[in-house]
Structure 1
Amino acid sequence: MRIAWSNWSGSVQASPQMVLYPDSIEAVVEAVQMCRREGRRLRVVGTGHSFTPIAAASDVLVSLDRMQGLVEIDAVGGTATVWAGTKLKLLGELLFRQGLAQENLGDIDVQSIAGAISTGTHGTGRQFGNIATQVAGLTLVTGTGEVIECTMDSHPEAFRAMQVSLGALGIIVQVKLKLRSAFKMRYESRRVPLSTCLEQLPALADAHRHFEFYWFPYADPCQLKTMDETDEPVSSRRVRDYVSDVLLENAAFGLLSGLCRRFPELCAPISRFSASQVPVGSRVDYSHRLFATKRLVRFNEMEYNLPADAMPAVIEEMRAVMARNRFAVHFPIECRYARGDDIWLSPAYGRDSAYIAVHMYKGMTYAPYFAAMERIFLRYGGRPHWGKMHSLHASQLKGLYPMWEPFARVRAQYDPEGVLLNPYLEKLFGVSEA
């Protein structure tokens, strides 16, 4: 009997014939071997927070929800080995109890650690790469059912492919992470004119450990968010902050979003109203409790990586196109920075980067808006975030990633029968075109 499955936003639906919940490496191996014997295909899902069909399975869907928690802590070496299905929120608390923390995280913590690294999930901060750069080792079950423990020393070529692999090289079952001691940060939110923000971008990005900003379509103010390490005492109050930041803000924005969906002509004034209500304030807490923001209002998203110095010019072009086309959009645009890396399919490969993300409320038409923004991103050498919507296929991606062909060779080596592919990945990698 087929089972109904959809991703978080509802943009992707699938009907797998079977859903498996392995609780050990041996069980994962058996799932792969079963698929090989029976000529089946499988995909692994974390929380379904990707906006593309990357995890969609019409045959076998594998969830690692029963493979969560810490495996081993190396306090001297500053590493921890964790089960791949561990959700980031749980991982943060488990590490905190050991006096440890990840150096950086994204603004959503519902993903599994394996899903986050496999899609190139990132946070913000010029000193920090995406979460995959924190990986010291991986244990995975390949498409042939072989268990491999992979590090830069043991597999110098394959490791760079496995760090951001889209789940196409194997099923990651354990992740060894490089960590640091737990630390506190001061979070500050300010409201400033977008023009002021753009003028001060280099200084703001250099002055803070973490810096990002949100600008609102058709509005002048934007929200600046900064976080910096501190020894100040914790000032967050969990219940108060949850009520104000999560329940009230999400409820209010959800109501306004519902109005925009029903009356699209209200998008511009509601965007301007939202910009005028940007929260101003600060608080201090441990890092893992400050990085993430609870998202209860559902949306679809496209995000592109760009050369870091392109950020101001891209935003000016985006504003000009929005002014001409008057897209019915009220969600703010999220802008962040990240350090470049040497991971083959990382969008930040070989360059310090800016990330710009556009969103559209669930149920509202997003295609014309996303397509117009994507054309701008591509003119500046943009590379799509693997978990977000985009329109690119193999021939285009090959031109954007210098290590595309070496990755393809490693993929064919570790999954020669295509057990781990679905139609979306076939199109992405050009497998069916070969």
Structure 2
Amino acid sequence: MKITRRNLLQFAASASALAAVGTIPASLTSAFAQEPRVIPWKNWSGGQSCTPAMRAAPASEAELADLIRTAPAPIRAVGAGHSFSPLVPTDGTILSLDRLSGVISHDSTSHRATIRAGTRLGALAGELAERGLALDNMPDINKQTLAGAIATATHGTGAELPSLSDFVTGLRLVTASGETVECSATRNADIFQAARVSLGALGIVTEVTMQARPLYKLKRRTWIEPIEDMLEAAPERWKTHRNFEFYYVPFSGMAIGITNDETDDPETPEPVNEDDEGLMQLKMLQEWLGWAPSTRRWLIQTIMSGIEPEERVDFSHKTLATERNVRFNEMEYHLPREAGPKALAEIIETLESNNVEVFFPIEYRTTAADTSWLSPFHERESCSIAIHRYHEEDYKPYFNLIEPIFRKYEGRPHWGKISTLKADDFAALYPKWDDFLKARAALDPQGKFLNPYLRSVFGVEA
């Protein structure tokens, strides 16, 4: 065969594809007789990284089971890398579930759908819409895999709406022995309550059955008002709007409110997304006027007061999720709902009195109580407060300043976001903590799925 640049590229592409599933023929092995390339990994923000000994992307549950039995530990599944906590880093094996994606089946009567665990939320929303279905709620980022989203209790906003994990009605889980376990509220019920929010510590989820609903539209309204007015009106807005959240812009005294309510109105054109540009303008103002908070406040208020309210009507998955292209690291805690306004006021006072260099808005949402053992919303109606730091900046001083306030109000950290809590802290926050530990030890006695971070979370020695 004549060697051309095109042939060489095709040959290399074929070898790479075969290498991903571990089936390289002897002819290719001899042609590329060298050590396997070790490929570093890092998350979306760049805040977490590792160099695993092995990467794999199984195309079937059977192939996944074989990998779990033989691959170097710790074994960690990876999705879109949108977790900011060290859930993934390992010097063992990183498993991608990207080849285990798509809707397997759906029931048009019960509105339930069975979905492969590696399906990205944005793609899932589109596939469900083609079948006349939608999830009852969505987070504001839709790049995550379904398995990753439920494993960390990823949530949207809505006083009566729980996290995504609460809509799970069944799971298939491949354990450390390579065994596949099916669980639901009536089958292996304890495993089910543990596995809905598991941090990937029980095994690798391959399929998820979700309770969906008929496709529906929402009217999204966005507006600006003083933070005092936003907080005063918040309790009533939680009651009267399906989804309500707001963002406080640091050093401005102003907040951006967002509501979503069901409607039969016709869809409207999608507006131009200017969120990223707005963030970069706030960054510029911080750099120019960080030394003069009062001037910065006056200028931001002047700019924001000229922004008119905006409305959009579209199907739910298009109005609830937004594009986030400006990278950041994030800390988010879930507090008892009644403590939220006071905690937010204290956070604002702390960061502004200390003139902390920050421009990312503070996000404030609500979530209904649920029953999953490790859900931060376990048996508690909650509000969620999230702080962000630009990915090129050191987040530790800011997060270390604010985290004691979250803890003061008995907050539980989002599993996919940054915190400094350890095993004893979590044990005090979660009534079913010991039950989860027992389930984890029974399914993975050797800690095959525990990286150093999870060992610290669960108090398991190496």
Q: State the AA in 1 paired with 2:206.
A: V
Normalising to structure 1: TM-score of the pair?
A: 0.94
Call closer, same or farther: CA 1:405–1:266 in 2, change over 3 Å.
farther
2:283 aligned residue: 257
1:13 aligned residue: 49
Kindly provide the CA deviation profile for residues 135-154 of structure 1, in whole angstroms up to 9, marking residues without a partner as x: 00000101121101111100
Residue 365 of structure 1, CA deviation:
2.5
1:100 aligned residue: 133
2:328 aligned residue: 299
Question: Which deviates more, 363-372 or 204-213?
Answer: 363-372
In structure 2, how many angstroms separate the alpha carbons of the residues matched to 1:304 and 1:177? 26
Establish whether residue 324 from structure 1 lines up as the match of residue 353 from structure 2.
yes
Of 388, 394, 401, the residue aligned with 2:423 is 394
Kindly provide the CA deviation profile for residues 148-186 of structure 1, in whole angstroms up to 9, marking residues without a partner as x: 111110012111100000000010000000010000000
RMSD over aligned CA atoms reads 1.8
1:212 aligned residue: 245
Of 112, 115, 132, the residue aligned with 2:165 is 132
Kindly provide the CA deviation profile for residues 93-122 of structure 1, in whole angstroms up to 9, marking residues without a partner as x: 000000000000110000000000000100
1:341 aligned residue: 370
Call closer, same or farther: CA 1:234–1:185 in 2, change over 3 Å.
same
State the secondary structure of the residue aligned to 1:89: helix
Matches within 5 A, 1:68-87: 68-87=101-120
In structure 2, how many angstroms separate the alpha carbons of the residues matched to 1:266 and 1:64? 49
In structure 1, how many angstroms separate the alpha carbons of the residues matched to 2:408 and 2:278? 36
2:230 aligned residue: 197
Residue 280 of structure 1, CA deviation:
2.3
Residue 255 of structure 1, CA deviation:
5.6
Establish whether residue 224 from structure 1 lines up as the match of residue 253 from structure 2.
no
Question: Which deviates more, 174-183 or 213-222?
Answer: 213-222
In structure 2, how many angstroms separate the alpha carbons of the residues matched to 1:197 and 1:262? 28
In structure 2, how many angstroms separate the alpha carbons of the residues matched to 1:269 and 1:222? 18
Residue 284 of structure 1, CA deviation:
0.2
Establish whether residue 359 from structure 1 lines up as the match of residue 388 from structure 2.
yes
Of 282, 289, 302, the residue aligned with 2:311 is 282
Residue 261 of structure 1, CA deviation:
6.6
Cα contact 1:89–1:109 (8 A) shared by 2: yes
In structure 1, runs of 5+ residues without a counterpart are none
State the secondary structure of the residue aligned to 1:173: strand
Question: Which deviates more, 178-187 or 277-286?
Answer: 277-286
Residue 288 of structure 1, CA deviation:
0.7
Q: State the AA in 2 paired with 1:11.
A: G
Cα contact 1:188–1:280 (8 A) shared by 2: yes
Call closer, same or farther: CA 1:418–1:179 in 2, change over 3 Å.
same
Call closer, same or farther: CA 1:258–1:55 in 2, change over 3 Å.
farther
2:11 aligned residue: none
Residue 41 of structure 1, CA deviation:
2.3
State the secondary structure of the residue aligned to 1:138: strand
1:151 aligned residue: 184
In structure 1, how many angstroms separate the alpha carbons of the residues matched to 2:292 and 2:314? 37
Residue 77 of structure 1, CA deviation:
1.9
In structure 2, how many angstroms separate the alpha carbons of the residues matched to 1:296 and 1:200? 31
In structure 2, how many angstroms separate the alpha carbons of the residues matched to 1:270 and 1:136? 49
Residue 198 of structure 1, CA deviation:
1.1
Kindly provide the CA deviation profile for residues 359-407 of structure 1, in whole angstroms up to 9, marking residues without a partner as x: 0111112212111211011111100000000000001111011111110
State the secondary structure of the residue aligned to 1:80: strand
Q: State the AA in 2 paired with 1:356.
A: I
Residue 268 of structure 1, CA deviation:
7.9
In structure 2, how many angstroms separate the alpha carbons of the residues matched to 1:324 and 1:250? 27
2:435 aligned residue: 406
Call closer, same or farther: CA 1:259–1:218 in 2, change over 3 Å.
closer
State the secondary structure of the residue aligned to 2:87: helix
Q: State the AA in 2 paired with 1:285.
A: D
Cα contact 1:142–1:169 (8 A) shared by 2: yes
| Runs of 4+ with deviation above 4 angstroms | 258-275
Cα contact 1:139–1:149 (8 A) shared by 2: yes
State the secondary structure of the residue aligned to 1:157: helix
